[in-house]
Amino acid sequence: MFKIYKYVLPNGLIIIFNKDKYLKNSAVFNILYKVGSKDENFNKTGIAHLFEHLMFCGSKNITDYDHIVSNIGGINNAFTSQDYTNYYIELPNNKIETAFYTESDRMCNLNITKDKLDIQKKVVIEEFKQIYFDKPYGLSDSIILDMAYDKYQSYKWNVIGKNIDHIYSISIFDIKEWYKKYYNPNNAIISIVGNYDIHYIYELSYKWFNKIENNFFSNKKVVKKNINKKLNVVKKQYSKIINNTVYKIWNIDERLSKNFYMMHLFAELLSGDKSSKLYQSLVINKNMFLNIDAYIIESIDCGLFVIEGKIYNNIKLDHANIVISNEIINIIKNGFNNFEIKKVQNQTELRILFNQMNIIERAFELSLFEMMGNYELYNKEIDNYNQITSENICECAKKFIKDNNCSTLYYIKNE
Amino acid sequence: MNNKILLPEHYPLQNGSNIFAFFINNTSITKIDLIFYNCYNDGNTFLINKCLKDLILLGFKNHSSTDIYRLINYYGINTYIENYKEYIIITFYFIDRYINNVLYIMNILLSSASFLQNDLNKYKYQSIYNLYNKALYPEYLSKLNRKKIFFGKKTFYGYTIQLKDMINLSRKDIFTYYDNIINNKNCNIIITSNENNYNLVQKLKLFFEKISYGNNTLIKNLIFDINSAPIDKYHIKNDNIQSILSMGKIININYLHEDYPKLIFVNTILGGYFNSRLMMSLREKMKYTYDITSNLYSFKNFSTILIYCFLNKHYTKKSIAIIYNEINKIINSKICDEELNKVKKYIYSQYINSLDYPFNFSNYFKRFLSIKDYNKYYTNFENTINGIKKEEIQIIAQKYLYGKYYEIII
């Protein structure tokens, strides 16, 4: 259980502080902006991520952000999701004020120019190519999101952007508007992990952030999809694969719902390890699949539950699809014994404890939980999983695992 | 700043193993590393090393592989295997309250493996498919060819797994491997646990003292003749949108050499951090890549420098010229004070911050098991960080960066 403090500056900026007395040398400063790719317009995507790159290109008082951070011995990085954009610095504990200074400067004084934008567009396009092209199954994520979410749901595209043309089309005006709209104190959460006096952190926060004014902003919430859609099967052909693959995708609830925790354990129970039910049945006993994997694509407002099965080439995709469906229905019907439930709960506990030891991860998650509703929930994650029973999981799975909530993708080898 | 490198308590065991125990104050997870040195120089050893994570669970005298998977996962144990050419490390992470169950499982894993034929057949069948699948990934192709080109395909370091190795793999091969390598005379054990877990460590000590597994220890001295390494250029053409470039060379010192910490500086300046020269020129200035790194790896009697990036394929040749240009700049001119200070602070902080991660003490230590004076390495490292001069950077660059580099383009 971590001791965590929270306070809010008059301009709405939230500061979460975890005092860790065991940290002798280092500290982490994390700042999360409540803006991600879901806040983009569907015909101009990729701004959230491109903007993240521009945050490293200098502000009024800091021409070279990375230089300042390296110069104090810090490391920094950032990542963008559908729901947020997160920046962090791990640095020597006696240099924490530098993080306050640099982050406050780029929150209100970012220096955006067309030249910088053009450079970062080209860098991001190379990143786009690196992630999606030339790799077997590289495009599957984009297709899954596009199939599973409706037109009005802005989780429908990849964070980096729907395509390269969208990235090219982003203008300096778009970028400036984005900054003005979303990079404000009341749309940000700072979290700090370090061995400091709380008053010192408060003083620094006040000194560096209190004078920054807010602009209007409104965050988008992604509305949940209604179950009851037409049967949705898409076939895509690619030359760079060996095994045909079937993806089955079901829409599920928001990240903090009880149903999310249940579906997460359900995924672990199906394929978390080689003794799991789905793996044993389809890979070992039926010998139809080279591999089978169940996992969740985690989004704050409404996520996805995915089963991905790579099949041997003598098996027909339609047949594989039916076998997966029948097997899951059967598993839900028969439920899980206590041993299986305890197994996935223990694995989850170890994973959470392990993540908490990493201070970069801890600082980020504190901001994330605060964004989702309450930083205190961070300390309750293990309990949330440990309270779940087999009955809970099966009831929950019955609710979501339905044909009228399912999209199916056949990723087929182009002969 | 507390820059004291933590030293382990050492318990030599009568059966030939050694235990090194780190007691730390901020964890409720215990970590055990079992380190085995490799000793053979043939296809089977490469293959079994590479596949050990799966092979180690292929059935036991009284338990099927599924039973063991079930048990391991029931107790939330995370097993992790690192395959290096020179040694392999089997790591167990677990929640402290399950120590007795972990010992039971470790006993089965180490001393009653029987590699059931059915399980092995199934595994081979899946693995052959996986090899075909992997070969479609350009990064994998790049890695395979890099090893071959770098070290020569017939050497221990350059050998890559062939399909025929997988087809021919037998239970006998695995038993032989186990006898020779997964062997308590060939094992060093590092335990990292909470400082209040003295009793837990004593329990582990008793366990490892009693357990006996493996028969022989046939350690061959694996010395790679660096003069045998070919310098070559290799280009696989395909219709991909990007190219993958690997450039590198072998360097005739390893981490024990007094120049090594200085070489870390040279590598960091070239391509070892975000502000590196290669990042600045190829990403920020030319926009040919999203990311470029140069990496320094140390082996038993040599090191390698590897420069690696995905590139806009229309600028591959131009990028190679730019990389050579950056290498030559480090060789031919002194770096400025500002850059030196920045790199000093960066390297020092990386090191010092890493000491706040409880498991890093054992992560560092396991590389240095063969060094008697482990602390001396870090004293040398810290002295270098504090005292290195720009003239020394240039001398080290001239000494080790100069010369031809192999180039692999996929």
pLDDT tens digits for range A48-98:
999 999 999 999 899 888 889 988 889 999 999 999 999 999 999 999 999
Nearest CA in chain A to B312: A126
Give a yes or no: residue A237 inside a domain: yes
Burial class (CB in 10 A: 0-12, 13-18, 19+), B285: exposed
Separation between Cα atoms, residue B234 and residue B408, nearest integer Å: 5
Q: Phi/psi zone of residue A137: left (φ > 0), alpha (ψ -120 to 50 degrees), beta?
A: left
Do both A106 and A144 map to the same domain?
yes
pLDDT of B381 higher than 90: no
Mean pLDDT of A101-112: 94
Query: Which residues between 241 and 270 in chain B have a beta carbon less than 8 angstroms from any beta carbon of chain A?
Result: 241-242
Give a yes or no: residue A226 inside a domain: no
Q: Are A157 and A142 in contact (CB under 8 A)?
A: yes
Min Cα separation A13/chain B (Å): 28
- Which of the two residues, A347 and A215, has the higher pLDDT score? A347
Min Cα separation A290/chain B (Å): 6
Contacts of B28 in chain A (CB under 8 A): 353
SS3 sequence, B148-167? HHHHCCCCCCCCCCCHHHHH
Per residue in A148-185, pLDDT (tens digit) is 998 888 899 999 999 999 999 999 999 999 999 999 99
Separation between Cα atoms, residue B55 and residue B389, nearest integer Å: 50
Give the domains, in start order, of chain B with CATH numbers. 9-210 (3.30.830.10), 226-409 (3.30.830.10)
Interchain pair A135, B284: CB under 8 A: no
Give a yes or no: residue A214 inside a domain: no
Residues in contact with B124: Cβ distance below 8 Å, sequence separation at least 6, in sequence order: B166, B167, B169
Q: Are B38 and B86 in contact (CB under 8 A)?
A: yes
Interchain pair A273, B2: CB under 8 A: no
Burial class (CB in 10 A: 0-12, 13-18, 19+), A19: middle
Contacts of B356 in chain A (CB under 8 A): 22-26, 359
Residues in contact with B141: Cβ distance below 8 Å, sequence separation at least 6, in sequence order: B135, B236, B410
Query: Which residues between 123 and 142 in chain B have a beta carbon less than 8 angstroms from any beta carbon of chain A?
Result: 126, 129-130, 132-133, 136-138
Residue A242 is nearest to which of B26, B67, B136, comparing CB atoms?
A: B136
Do both A236 and A196 map to the same domain?
no
- Residue B373: band (very low, low, confident or very high) from pLDDT cuts 50, 70, 90: low
pLDDT of B214 higher than 80: no
Gyration radius from chain B CA atoms: 23
Contacts of B240 in chain A (CB under 8 A): 133-134
Do both A113 and A204 map to the same domain?
yes
> Cα dist. B121→A339, B108, B118, B169 in Å?
29, 22, 5, 9
Number of domains in chain A: 2
Q: Where are the beta strands (DSSP E) in A75-218?
A: 75-80, 85-92, 188-194
**Residue B158: phi, psi to the nearest 5?**
-100, -10
Do both A161 and A262 map to the same domain?
no
Do both A198 and A238 map to the same domain?
no
**Residue at a domain's end among A209, A224, A241:** A209
Min Cα separation B94/chain A (Å): 7
Give a yes or no: residue A215 inside a domain: no
Instruction: Report residue A48 CA to chain centroid gap.
Output: 14
Question: Which amino acid type is present at position A260?
Answer: F
Across A365-383, b (16+ Cβ under 10 Å) vs e yields bbbbbbbbeebebbeebbe
Contacts of A310 in chain B (CB under 8 A): 133
- Torsion angle in degrees (nearest 10) through CA of B374, B380, B381, B382: 110
Contacts of B353 in chain A (CB under 8 A): 25-26, 73, 75, 90-92
Across A203-215, b (16+ Cβ under 10 Å) vs e yields ebbbebbeebeee
- Which CATH number characterizes residue A308's domain? 3.30.830.10
Question: Which amino acid type is present at position A223?
Answer: V
Per residue in B229-280, pLDDT (tens digit) is 666 777 777 778 888 898 998 898 888 888 999 999 999 999 999 889 999 9
Q: Are B111 and B213 in contact (CB under 8 A)?
A: yes
Do both A142 and A248 map to the same domain?
no
Nearest CA in chain A to B342: A71
Do both A374 and A241 map to the same domain?
yes
- Residue B1: band (very low, low, confident or very high) from pLDDT cuts 50, 70, 90: very low
Q: How many CA atoms lie within 13 A of A57 on its CB side?
A: 21
Do both A246 and A137 map to the same domain?
no
Nearest-5° Cα angle at B293, B399 to B369: 70
Residues β-bridged to residue B292: B309
Of chain A, the percentage scoring pLDDT greater than 90 comes to 74
Residue A70 is nearest to which of B75, B310, B345, comparing CB atoms?
A: B345
Give a yes or no: residue A121 inside a domain: yes
Contacts of B73 in chain A (CB under 8 A): 272-273, 275, 343-344, 346-347
Contacts of B137 in chain A (CB under 8 A): 135-136
Separation between Cα atoms, residue A99 and residue A112, nearest integer Å: 20
Q: How many CA atoms lie within 13 A of B144 on its CB side?
A: 15
Q: What kind and span of H or E run contains A16?
A: strand A14-19
Residues in contact with A144: Cβ distance below 8 Å, sequence separation at least 6, in sequence order: A247, A249, A297, A304, A306, A407, A409
Structure confidence at residue B40 (pLDDT): 59
The token duo for A150 is 């409706």
Residue B284 is nearest to which of A90, A119, A359, comparing CB atoms?
A: A119
Interchain pair B69, A274: CB under 8 A: yes
Contacts of A92 in chain B (CB under 8 A): 1, 349, 352-353
Four-residue CA torsion sign, B83, B87, B93, B97: positive
Give a yes or no: residue A221 inside a domain: no
Query: Which residues between 13 and 72 in chain B have a beta carbon less than 8 angstroms from any beta carbon of chain A?
Result: 25-29, 57, 65-67, 69-70, 72
Structure confidence at residue A207 (pLDDT): 96
pLDDT of A308 higher than 50: yes
Query: Which residues between 43 and 72 in chain A have a beta carbon less than 8 angstroms from any beta carbon of chain B?
Result: 66-67, 70-72
Task: Check CB contact of A237 with chain B, cutoff 8 Å.
Answer: no
The token duo for B220 is 């061959």
Per residue in B383-408, pLDDT (tens digit) is 888 899 999 999 999 999 988 888 88
Mean pLDDT of A36-48: 94
Do both A201 and A313 map to the same domain?
no
Query: Which residues between 105 and 124 in chain B have a beta carbon less than 8 angstroms from any beta carbon of chain A?
Result: 122
Residue B29 is nearest to which of A291, A353, A359, comparing CB atoms?
A: A353
Do both A66 and A100 map to the same domain?
yes
- Torsion angle in degrees (nearest 10) through CA of B249, B297, B319, A132: 130
pLDDT of B367 higher than 80: no
Contacts of A89 in chain B (CB under 8 A): none
Task: Check CB contact of A190 with chain B, cutoff 8 Å.
Answer: no
- Which of the two residues, B194 and B48, has the higher pLDDT score? B194
Interchain pair A243, B133: CB under 8 A: yes
The token duo for B316 is 């591959």
Residue A343 is nearest to which of B70, B284, B311, comparing CB atoms?
A: B70
Interchain pair B310, A23: CB under 8 A: no
Domain range for A190 is 4-209
Nearest CA in chain A to B95: A350
Q: How many CA atoms lie within 13 A of A50 on its CB side?
A: 34
Task: Check CB contact of A168 with chain B, cutoff 8 Å.
Answer: no
- Residue B134: band (very low, low, confident or very high) from pLDDT cuts 50, 70, 90: confident
Give the number of other CB atoms < 10 A from CB of residue A41.
Answer: 10
Separation between Cα atoms, residue B382 and residue B264, nearest integer Å: 12
Do both A161 and A281 map to the same domain?
no
Q: Which residue, B289, B201, B279, is CA-closest to B245?
A: B289
Do both A242 and A205 map to the same domain?
no
Burial class (CB in 10 A: 0-12, 13-18, 19+), B159: buried
Nearest CA in chain A to B77: A347
Nearest CA in chain A to B69: A275
Task: Check CB contact of B353 with chain A, cutoff 8 Å.
Answer: yes
Q: How many residues does chain A have?
A: 415
The token duo for A315 is 């098996």
Interchain pair B358, A280: CB under 8 A: no
**Residue at a domain's end among A176, A209, A242:** A209
Mean pLDDT of A241-257: 92
Give a yes or no: residue A191 inside a domain: yes
Give a yes or no: residue A225 inside a domain: no
DSSP state of B226: G
Separation between Cα atoms, residue A50 and residue B8, nearest integer Å: 46
The token duo for B85 is 């050419």
